[in-house]
Chains A and B, each alone.
Chain A
Amino acid sequence: MSTRRDPEQDLQQLLNADRGDLGHIYDKLARAEPPPRLDRIVLGEAARAIRSQRQPRAQRWLVGFGSAAGIVLAAGIAWQVGQQMQRQDAADTSSDSARSVIPVQPISAPADVEREAVYAQPSAESVAAPQAAAPAKQESAPMRARQEKPRPAPPPAPPAPASPPVPMPELAKPKADTAQPAAAEPFPAAEESAASAAGGILREQADMAAEPAAVVEEKRASAAKAPAPSASMRLHRNIQLDPEAWLGEIIRLEEQGRHQEAIENLRLFRRKYPDHDLPDVLRKLDP
């Protein structure tokens, strides 16, 4: 009699949950454990892997955040600059429009035409000025805007008539027969109405001074075709007259029916020469 083990049956016993009789013996074998040294090595390596995994993620987060912040900052700066440019453009436009709305009154008197012709004559300084002032035209818009703001009162002019005030080289040139440098007188702060009216003239003069000679010539030709300078220009010119001549001009304006212009001239005259006696014909106009 022989005991033949069936390999299939033996295999089935091994694949059972208890793994058969060999399973029982196997479970009684020494249950070796990894040494603590291996535990430390494995756990340490796993912890290092996690730390090194966190570090690059933080760096990536920082890079991403930095890039986003940079983009936002750049966009903010661009927006601010754009807004500033728009405001400056609006200011330029408003100043241009303000300049263009200066009332223009036709000149009917021959004396005026004669004076305009004198005014239109280019002086040596005004022709030379564009070249000197040309670089100023290249300045940035903010600089130009600052220059176009109401200018402070010019300093008192020296007594010598050969040194005209800088802001208005042509208009401030005193007449040879005038004892007082009228244009050199500072405008009082209260003269805002007259000064603002004159401000447009000053800006035009400054712009003309800043333009090249060819442009000045062209403008001069077109100015010759123009009917008349504005009342404010005449007013500014009258300021430079001596008191008697100015009073005569005021009387003439009143006689011509240009009552409002006469009143404005008289008001400015009274501020400039408060102690000067007025003729009777003008006393009734004195406000």
Chain B
Amino acid sequence: MLMTTSLDCLNLASMGSERTDEELMLAYAGGDMIAFETLYRRHRGTLYRFLLRSLRQRADADELFQETWSRAVAARERYRPEAKFSTWLLQIAHNLVIDRFRRSRPHASAEETDLLFSRLDAPESEQPDRVLSEFEQRRRLQLALEELPEEQRVTFLLRMENGLGLEELSEVTGAGRETVKSRLRYALARVRARFES
């Protein structure tokens, strides 16, 4: 019943689907609740998955999901259409995730990363050459994501889940372009290592 109500709400929100995210956000800031429902329908899934895979705990993801939207609602009058809405929303979510990481866990050491790259350079004879099943591929990717250092994981997820390019990644994370590329390289190496272990 509750699900039905929520979906009805989202179906109603689809009426404004032809408008861009930025137009919808401006309309919501002007008092258009339907515009917000449309916007929410567009971004709820990707945002939730980004948070869930970044934080790995559903309770944490739920909490930060709610907090992200709450901050977007509170900042609606300060929103300017010059900023892409998805980037702006992910910026809020990313900052919350980083704050959560800083309070809970230390960063991965540089030695670990070096070890991963050395394993990537291993000869083919030492690599597993068996074809992994699709299920095994998904499981290994999932494990690899969970094992990634936080900043690398977040950057990698922003690319995989939200499709952000280098410029947008740099804008959302607040890191330089080269730093973003470096994080992606390290993340790729770790994921490959998990696949080939």
Contacts and interface: CB of A to CB of B under 8 A. Distances in A.
A23 B138 CA distance: 11
Interface stretch (B14-22, B83-91, B95-103, B116-124): B116-124
Contact of A11 (B28, B49, B181): B181
Nearest to A1: B124
B160 A22 contact: yes
B159 interface: yes
B76 interface: yes
Measured as residues with beta carbon below 8 angstroms from the partner, the interface class of chain A is 35 or more
Contact of B141 (A11, A25, A36): A25
Interface residues of B, number: 50
A54 B159 CA distance: 39
B175 interface: no
Chain A's interface: helix, strand, loop or mixed, by majority? helix
A39 B28 contact: no
A32 interface: yes
Contacts of A36: 2-3, 5-6
A32 B52 contact: yes
A145 interface: no
B127 A14 contact: no
B37 interface: yes
B192 interface: yes
A286 interface: no
Contacts of B45: 31, 33-34
A45 interface: yes
Given A15-B159, A29-B141, A40-B6, A45 B69 contact: yes
Interface in A3-39: 3-5, 7-8, 10-11, 14-15, 19, 22-23, 25-26, 28-29, 31-39
A258 to B, nearest CB: 91
Contacts of A54: 31
A244 B52 CA distance: 127
Given A7-B185, A15-B159, A19-B160, A2 B138 contact: no
Interface string B171-190: 00000000001001100110
A46 B122 contact: no
Given A2-B124, A38-B62, A31 B76 contact: no
B160 A23 contact: yes
Interface string B41-62: 0001100110010000000001
Contacts of B181: 11
A228 to B, nearest CB: 87
Contact of B123 (A2, A10, A28): A2
A39 B4 CA distance: 11
B142 interface: yes
B160 A46 contact: no
Contacts of B122: 2
10 contacts: A5-B192, A7-B188, A31-B45, A34-B44, A42-B40, A42-B69, A45-B70, A46-B33, A46-B36, A46-B73
The 5 closest A-B CB pairs, nearest first, are: A2-B123, A34-B48, A39-B6, A42-B69, A36-B6
